[in-house]
Chains A and B, each alone.
Chain A
Amino acid sequence: MTKRRILIVDDEDDIREVAQISLEVTAGWKVLTASSGCEGLKIASEAKPDAILLDVMMPDLDGPSTFQKLQADPAIRHIPVVLLTAKLQPADQKRFAELGVAGVLAKPFDPLELAGQVRDTLHWLT
């Protein structure tokens, strides 16, 4: 089986870096990163990762908008998206549920568990 490739989209450099190392070290996935929604869409189109880990609060193009753009593109709409967010109010959760993403993971996350959580969310077999 080829290595899983996962794209992390987050405007916080540190979080991106931590998440990347976490996924690389704990799951051995190939991690791509993008620091904005636009960049994320671009990389997703080019590299067609197996999944996208998407932040919600980003300048310019936020997570939900990025997701909607992604859905509008037939070439990449099949890529499952997991939101990774610090927005954890009930109202936010409701909003995310209506979006149709594959799942929502909370920040802060346990770097040792993150890969497992993504895997569980996407029903990937180990």
Chain B
Amino acid sequence: MTIVQDIAGQERADEALMEERHLLHTLMDNLPDVIYFKDRESRFTCINKAHARLFGLVDPAHAVGKTDFDFFTTEHAQEAYRDEQEIIRTGQPIVGKEEKETWPDGRATWVSTTKMPVRDANGNIIGTFGVSHDVTERKRAEAALQDSDEKYRVLYESSRDAIMMLAPPDWRFTAGNPAAVALFGARGEREFVAAAPWSLSPEYQPDGELSSVKAPRMIATAMERGSHSFEWTHKKFSGEEFFATVVLTRMIYRGQPLLQATVSDITDRKRAKAEMAERHLLATLVAEVGVALTQAESLRPALQQCAEILVRNIGAAFARVWTVNEKENVLELQASAGLYTHIDGGHARVPLGKFKIGRIAESGEPHLTNSVLTDSWVGDPEWARREGMVAFAGWPLKVEGRVLGVVAAFARQPLTETTLQAFASVADSLAQFIKRKRAEETLRESEEKYRALIETTGTGYVIIDTQGRVIDANPEYVRLAGRRALHEVLGHRIAEWTAQHDLARTAEAVRRCAELGLTRNFEIENVNGDGKCTPIEVNATVVVTAGGVRIVALCRDITERKRAEEELYQSRQMLQTILDTIPQRVFWKDRNLLYLGCNRALAIDAGLKDPAEIIGKNDYELSWGGSAESHCADDKLVMEQETPRLNFDEQLSRPDGSQRWLRTSKLPLRDPEGKVIGVIGTYEDITERKRVKAQLVTHARIDGIFLSVPDNEIYHEILKLVLDEMHSPLGLFGFIDEDGGLEVPSMTREIMRICQMPGKTARFPRETWEESSWARALKERRTIYSNEPSTSTPDGHIHICRHISLPVLFRGEALGLLVVANKETDYTQVDVRALDDIASHVAPILSARLHRQRAEATRDYLASIVEFSGDAIIGKSLEGVIRTWNAGAEKLYGYTASEAVGQPVFLLVPPERRKEVEDFLNCIKRDERIEPHETVRIAKDGGRIEVSVTISPLKNASGEVVGASTVARDITARKRAEQDLSFKTALLEAESETAIDGILVVDKTDHLLLVNRQFARMLDVPEEVIRTKDDKKLIEHALTQLKDPDAFLERVNYLRSHESEKTRDEIEFKDGRVFDRYSSPLQGSMGELYGRIWYFRDITERSELARMKSELVSVVSHELRTPLTSIRGALGLLAAGLLRSQPEKGQRMLEIAVSNTDRLVRLINDILDLERLESGKMNMEKRTCNAADLMTQAADSVRDLADKAGVTLSVSLHSARLLVDPDRIIQALINLISNAIKFSPRGTTIWLSATRQADQIQFQVKDQGRGIPQEKRESIFERFQQVDASDRREKGGTGLGLPITRNIVQQHGGRIWVESTLGQGSTFFFTLPLLPAETILVGDGCGARKLLVCAVEAEVCSAVQAVLNQRGCTVLGSSSWQELIQMASIEPPDAILLDSSLPGMGSSENITELKQKSHIQDVPVIGLGGAAPDEVHLASMGMAGWVTKPVNQNSLLPVLESVLGNVREGPRVLLVEDDIDLARVLTTVFERHGAVVLHVQTGREAVQVCPQFMPDLLVLDVILPELDGFGVVEQLRQHEHLRRLPLAVYSVKELDDSEKARLRLGESIFMTKSRLTPQEFEQRAIGLLNWATSGQRERRRR
């Protein structure tokens, strides 16, 4: 070390030494290494700066005297100490010792230290010197390296992969790990070190490349890419080869590039992979074969495909498949693939037992060989050798021991076990497949035969299941089902095409078929797509198959058959119809004379119901059995002679015994060949024809009797004729006389005897008619006949045993009676008809005869009726000439009969009605009657008579119209009554229509008579219902609207049975309307009931009001009772003296009474306020106000409250002009703010602010309270609706503040609402409309006056101050224009006094400049000087006044007063209050504001002092002794100066508007004592006072 100097040079000078030392230190300090000197005791004598830094010392000198123990761990220090002592002892240095220095703070550093002895000049060792440098970083790197080396080494040694190193330049192995040694089978690492990589490989790699060429290429690639991985075949030292993957990784070791080879033996993996591949191949084989066989439609292509798969997948040279033809005992080649593909060569057919294939088939055992050339079964070894065949595999295709074929393959390589296994599996699959296909083919063959049969048959064939679903069908069936193709049928239900009406039958047939196994035959109709029906005959049979129960149905189209049947039926029907409708009887018989058929007419004759019944019968069995003999004889004759017998008459006996005459024709019935096979006959009943002929004869005889025989003989003659005709011995003939009795001019003697009538003519009055047959006949006007004994004589002998009693009827009227009796045989209908015929013929003649006789008899008294009728009856000719005139006519028209008869009827007709009468006459001429007709006629006196006329034609005996009879009735009175009625009806209708009630009138049966418009409107009744008066619809309509329709109906029903009751009730509608319903019975003057009238009145509003009122009363009463309860209770206890012994409780009771009294007062005030607001009785005294002032006043009022609650009230004023009642708006604001205070937690803030919007101002009161839930944000504005019911109690509110506030705001045209966030606070908003800008705002508020005096001499200013300061004014002085301008600019004064001594004082320009510069245009300027200039001059100078010097009270005050108003002293208040205590309080209030208060106790005093005192404000109580407030105002109004005096009325009395009007003077405010706190009073009264004083000033200025 060069710095170590020999310091032994004793000759050196001290200075040199010093220099040396300095040099040394500098040198030392500049070295980065740590340098130190120690003495023999290892104490530091010197260290350099680097060392000091290491020790954490500022100055190296600090280390002197210290030892290593002071800095290092004891252990380290000890070692150093030992080393140093050794050096001192031995003198031997220690060089480059690397040691770890451990510091007390745990730091460890590595240093390389060289230590050597320091000797003095004598060579004695005096200490040690050390230098060390920090090698910590190097040490760390070395440690890391070692660490890494170690890790790698462990990896290298323990790796299971062989790791070898290859080094350049020739890339031989340089090292190998134990795994490498083991892998290559070396004895040790040494054995392959220096070997070339390819020396451990076979000569060629599997891809055929030389290892020695390929290996360097791999190495180059690895070097280039950094890493390369590939497969390699290695060779062990034993010569065994193995597969491996090699990863070559480039690396740098000790600056030299190296390759690390990692070799993994993959031989096992390779092998496994190969096996896997083979297995996979074979699995594929089996799978492919499976797929091929499953998908194959037919045998041969499938087998061919399998053969190809075999060739492809097992590497066979070729593969073939044969199948056994059992019939011919040969194998037939089916498929061939690979080397040979033909199937028609020599091996196409192999007999069983021949060749390999045949032998396999015969033995049923496989034949397998991997050495074809030596195999004895192989027939052609030469071929095998030539083709290089190595292996053969042949498998029998066997199922259940039966050989179906053979599969075989040749291969050019040996076949592995696996392959053979797969082959066996394929063989098995093939065998199964062949068997299945065979079975299928057999089945298909038979099925096809069968199908060919049924498909070509004309019969439809269908198989269905029990659900009716088609499983199979043939084309014919498809056609029958009306479908085009089979698939449209398969799976469908037959119901789809079965006609609707046949569905049930078909289903039933199917069911029976399936359940009972029956064969069913039935006919149904199928419907095709076009809706066309096809009739089908079905023959269904049940078949049980593997698939379940099936029904096989054979269906035949029977359209043609049906049509033929239908045609046949129709033609038969036609024939039958013809036969049945002709009157002739038709029959046809076979040769045995058995009936084959007949028509309906004949069947009826034969007594049969149906013509068909006759078939097979003979004549003896029929009704004419009696005459059967003759009929049959005739029939036989016709058949035998084969000639017809035509139109011969014969008689036929009817079962009832009557005889009929027939006209018959009979013809032989022949078959198509003309052979007679029966007889056909027709006959006609000609009985009637014969009877009519006889009747004509009788009629002629009757006519003869009437013509030739006298009247009295006629009845005898007719009776004789009748008895003759009727072959009856007994009878009578009588007629009905005018009295309704039966008069009998002719009867047989026997009858006479029976009737005990001795005379020739008998008469039976009607009342004597008994229950005899003839009486019944007459009464019932019908013929009665009987063959039973009916009338017995008194002696008991029966004389009449048969009879016909027949009334003679003419036009429904019984004229007389014919009776015949006791014919020898029974009477029949024929007899009745014959008698009836005679009676009919007699009736008209008899009628005419009777009429004639009667007319003659009645004529006389008819005339008297006409004469005395009350009606006017006039007979007139067809020309209108009056022929008859009765007494009624004379009375009505005033003409006598002699005057009227012979006159034309127009005598009575007003000219305008002439045409009417002419028309009537024309009608009469046409034999028409004029029904009652109302018209007007003229009486003899010329008066008009309203008449109702009926005119009838008058006929002569032969029925001709020859005149008219007029019946006229006076209807004047009726007409009048009708008009009266119609007027009353109209009146009633108008009344009901205009009624406010809905009116409904019903009759006794509840039918609608009347509905007025109002009712229709109320119930919204449709126009149609009103028009049709449909009561059912009306009631339905009404019921739908009612809340309780049942009760309504019940009421209606009740009234039906209590029809005379009146009712009144209320009915509720669903829409909330309530109707008052009143009903009353409709009664006539006699008390008779006509129906019921209902009145309905809509009382919804009324009932709603009543409900609200009751609710309000309920709530209010509760709210009032609550504080009253406390008051009453507390006072009750006190008054009873019960608490005398417990004064503290007594005190508490008093408190309760007081606080609840307050609460009661508040509540009552609020209720009254609200009531007045809501009813509009609260008069709003609107004035122009400033919003800011209202806010200020409101805020001031509640500040105390806020302070008490510990809540900050923050107000941001906003100035805006409003026209409002300030008291009310302040009240609204106070309400909102005090609410906010109540609900604000201590320490929070309430903000009162306002914002201006378009034409309104919006006030906001925002708090940080608990917020208001959404559902309450509307309802809190309703009365008694606090957010929480407990709030009322806790917060002391009345529950009316917000409703009042809302009312106030609304009455000012504003809106109020709240926004709120729960837990964060609420903001109440309300808006008020702004006043238009041009409206003048009356300002208020006026502080003490302030004057600026400008005078050169200070005395002037002092003089002014002396006068004004004591009057509360501020006087500021200035001595120049500039100063004046400046001061006025800063704070505008109320007035400026300018001393005339000021330069430029006389110039108006200076004053103008003053005002402009200081922006005080309106501040009056007053001059101060000698004599005052005239007014014009003053004005020209811009001055408002002039004060003449010397300045004193007298000169100054009047001028200032005239300019500024009262400045003598503070504002004056006259207080008129009889309550001295209250007066004292109020006086204090006003005096606090600097006012002068004069208090008087009576009204009279007030009136007296007022003119002298000239107050600025009058505070007036209303109720006063001597003269009350009204009297005071009345008197003050008389004074010119006092009538506009500002007035504050402060009264206990709540004043109404008229009272306020009577009390008004100038600006007036009204305050109620109990309603205002003293603060509020102060605020409002002082407000008014300020306004009054400033107003005076304003007015003066103007």
A66 at the interface (CB under 8 A from B): no
| Residues of chain B within 8 A of A86, CB atoms compared | 1117-1118, 1121-1122, 1125
* 7 pairs of A and B residues whose beta carbons are closest in the complex: A18-B1129, A86-B1121, A59-B1285, A14-B1126, A108-B1128, A108-B1125, A111-B1132
Closest-by-CB residue of B relative to A36 is B1286
28 pairs of residues in contact across A and B, judged by CB atoms under 8 Å: A11-B1286, A12-B1122, A12-B1289, A14-B1123, A14-B1155, A15-B1122, A17-B1148, A18-B1129, A18-B1152, A21-B1145, A21-B1149, A26-B1138, A58-B1285, A86-B1117, A86-B1118, A86-B1122, A86-B1125, A87-B1114, A88-B1117, A92-B1114, A107-B1121, A107-B1122, A108-B1121, A109-B1128, A111-B1128, A111-B1133, A112-B1136, A112-B1138
The reply to whether A107 and B1125 form a contact with Cβ atoms under 8 Å apart is yes
B1047 at the interface (CB under 8 A from A): no
Output the least CB separation between A82 and chain B (Å).
Answer: 15
Q: How many angstroms from the CA of A22 to the CA of B1149 in the assembled complex?
A: 11
Closest-by-CB residue of B relative to A84 is B1125
Closest-by-CB residue of A relative to B1110 is A89
Contacts A14-B1152, A59-B1285, A112-B1136 given; does A87 touch B1118 at CB 8 Å: yes
Output the least CB separation between B21 and chain A (Å).
Answer: 99
The reply to whether A15 and B1125 form a contact with Cβ atoms under 8 Å apart is yes
Contacts A17-B1148, A86-B1121 given; does A22 touch B1289 at CB 8 Å: no
A57 at the interface (CB under 8 A from B): yes
The reply to whether A18 and B1138 form a contact with Cβ atoms under 8 Å apart is no
Residues B1100-1140 near A (CB distance < 8 A)? 1110, 1113-1114, 1117-1118, 1121-1130, 1132-1133, 1136, 1138-1139
Q: How many angstroms from the CA of A112 to the CA of B1137 in the assembled complex?
A: 11
Closest-by-CB residue of A relative to B1152 is A14
Which of B1123, B1138, B1152, B1156 sits near A25, CB closer than 8 Å? B1138
Closest-by-CB residue of B relative to A26 is B1138
Q: How many angstroms from the CA of A100 to the CA of B1482 in the assembled complex?
A: 58
Q: How many angstroms from the CA of A49 to the CA of B680 in the assembled complex?
A: 123
Output the least CB separation between B1159 and chain A (Å).
Answer: 9
Residues B831-864 near A (CB distance < 8 A)? none
B1284 at the interface (CB under 8 A from A): yes
Q: How many angstroms from the CA of A86 to the CA of B1123 in the assembled complex?
A: 10
Closest-by-CB residue of A relative to B1131 is A111
Q: How many angstroms from the CA of A112 to the CA of B1138 in the assembled complex?
A: 9
Which of A11, A22, A58, A87 sits near B1129, CB closer than 8 Å? A22
The reply to whether A112 and B1285 form a contact with Cβ atoms under 8 Å apart is no
Q: How many angstroms from the CA of A87 to the CA of B1114 in the assembled complex?
A: 7
Interface string of B430-473 (1 = CB under 8 A from A): 00000000000000000000000000000000000000000000
Output the least CB separation between A95 and chain B (Å).
Answer: 12
The reply to whether B1129 and A15 form a contact with Cβ atoms under 8 Å apart is yes
| Residues of chain B within 8 A of A88, CB atoms compared | 1117, 1121
Closest-by-CB residue of B relative to A106 is B1121
| Residues of chain B within 8 A of A111, CB atoms compared | 1128-1130, 1132-1133, 1136
Q: How many angstroms from the CA of A13 to the CA of B1155 in the assembled complex?
A: 12
Which of A12, A22, A107 sits near B1133, CB closer than 8 Å? A22
Q: How many angstroms from the CA of A12 to the CA of B1126 in the assembled complex?
A: 9
**Contact count band on A:** 20 to 34
Closest-by-CB residue of A relative to B1121 is A86
The reply to whether B1118 and A57 form a contact with Cβ atoms under 8 Å apart is yes
Contacts A89-B1110, A92-B1114, A110-B1132 given; does A21 touch B1139 at CB 8 Å: yes
Output the least CB separation between A102 and chain B (Å).
Answer: 20
Closest-by-CB residue of A relative to B1118 is A86
A19 at the interface (CB under 8 A from B): yes
The reply to whether A21 and B1114 form a contact with Cβ atoms under 8 Å apart is no
Output the least CB separation between B95 and chain A (Å).
Answer: 97
The reply to whether B1118 and A25 form a contact with Cβ atoms under 8 Å apart is no
Residues A66-116 near B (CB distance < 8 A)? 86-89, 91-92, 107-112
| Residues of chain A within 8 A of B1136, CB atoms compared | 111-112
Output the least CB separation between B155 and chain A (Å).
Answer: 80
Closest-by-CB residue of A relative to B1285 is A59
Residues B855-878 near A (CB distance < 8 A)? none
Closest-by-CB residue of B relative to A89 is B1114
The reply to whether B1145 and A13 form a contact with Cβ atoms under 8 Å apart is no
| Residues of chain B within 8 A of A17, CB atoms compared | 1148, 1152
Output the least CB separation between B1162 and chain A (Å).
Answer: 15
Residue in A17, A86, A112 with the greatest tally of chain B CB atoms within 10 Å: A86
| Residues of chain A within 8 A of B1121, CB atoms compared | 86, 88, 107-108
Q: How many angstroms from the CA of A89 to the CA of B1112 in the assembled complex?
A: 11
| Residues of chain B within 8 A of A109, CB atoms compared | 1125, 1128-1129
Output the least CB separation between B1145 and chain A (Å).
Answer: 6
Q: How many angstroms from the CA of A87 to the CA of B1122 in the assembled complex?
A: 10
The reply to whether A18 and B1133 form a contact with Cβ atoms under 8 Å apart is yes
Q: How many angstroms from the CA of A79 to the CA of B1121 in the assembled complex?
A: 27
Known: A57-B1285, A60-B1285. 16 other contacts (CB 8 A): A12-B1125, A14-B1152, A14-B1156, A15-B1122, A15-B1126, A17-B1148, A22-B1129, A89-B1113, A107-B1121, A108-B1128, A108-B1129, A110-B1132, A111-B1132, A111-B1133, A112-B1133, A112-B1136
The reply to whether B1130 and A18 form a contact with Cβ atoms under 8 Å apart is yes
Q: How many angstroms from the CA of A110 to the CA of B1138 in the assembled complex?
A: 13
The reply to whether B1124 and A108 form a contact with Cβ atoms under 8 Å apart is yes
Q: How many angstroms from the CA of A106 to the CA of B519 in the assembled complex?
A: 97
| Residues of chain B within 8 A of A57, CB atoms compared | 1118, 1285
| Residues of chain A within 8 A of B1113, CB atoms compared | 89
Q: How many angstroms from the CA of A17 to the CA of B1130 in the assembled complex?
A: 9
Q: How many angstroms from the CA of A60 to the CA of B1123 in the assembled complex?
A: 21
Residue in A12, A13, A18, A19 with the greatest tally of chain B CB atoms within 10 Å: A18
The reply to whether B1125 and A112 form a contact with Cβ atoms under 8 Å apart is no
| Residues of chain B within 8 A of A13, CB atoms compared | 1289
Q: How many angstroms from the CA of A94 to the CA of B336 in the assembled complex?
A: 111
Q: How many angstroms from the CA of A87 to the CA of B23 in the assembled complex?
A: 115
Contacts A86-B1118, A89-B1110, A92-B1114 given; does A110 touch B1289 at CB 8 Å: no
Output the least CB separation between B1369 and chain A (Å).
Answer: 55
Q: How many angstroms from the CA of A15 to the CA of B1121 in the assembled complex?
A: 11
| Residues of chain B within 8 A of A14, CB atoms compared | 1123, 1126, 1130, 1152, 1155-1156
Output the least CB separation between A15 and chain B (Å).
Answer: 5
Contacts A18-B1152, A89-B1117 given; does A25 touch B1129 at CB 8 Å: no
Q: How many angstroms from the CA of A108 to the CA of B1114 in the assembled complex?
A: 15
Interface string of B1168-1183 (1 = CB under 8 A from A): 0000000000000000
Q: How many angstroms from the CA of A18 to the CA of B596 in the assembled complex?
A: 125
Q: How many angstroms from the CA of A11 to the CA of B1118 in the assembled complex?
A: 14
Output the least CB separation between A36 and chain B (Å).
Answer: 8
Contacts A12-B1289, A15-B1126 given; does A59 touch B1284 at CB 8 Å: yes
Closest-by-CB residue of A relative to B1141 is A25
Q: How many angstroms from the CA of A59 to the CA of B1114 in the assembled complex?
A: 17
| Residues of chain B within 8 A of A15, CB atoms compared | 1122, 1125-1126, 1129
| Residues of chain A within 8 A of B1155, CB atoms compared | 14
| Residues of chain A within 8 A of B1139, CB atoms compared | 21, 25
Output the least CB separation between A2 and chain B (Å).
Answer: 23
Q: How many angstroms from the CA of A53 to the CA of B1124 in the assembled complex?
A: 18
Output the least CB separation between B1282 and chain A (Å).
Answer: 9
Residues B1496-1551 near A (CB distance < 8 A)? none
Residues B1173-1207 near A (CB distance < 8 A)? none
Q: How many angstroms from the CA of A86 to the CA of B1126 in the assembled complex?
A: 12
Output the least CB separation between A28 and chain B (Å).
Answer: 12
Q: How many angstroms from the CA of A108 to the CA of B1131 in the assembled complex?
A: 12
Closest-by-CB residue of A relative to B1111 is A89
Closest-by-CB residue of A relative to B1145 is A21
Interface string of A9-48 (1 = CB under 8 A from B): 0011111011101100110000000000000000000000
The reply to whether A59 and B1126 form a contact with Cβ atoms under 8 Å apart is no
Closest-by-CB residue of B relative to A19 is B1129
| Residues of chain B within 8 A of A110, CB atoms compared | 1128, 1132
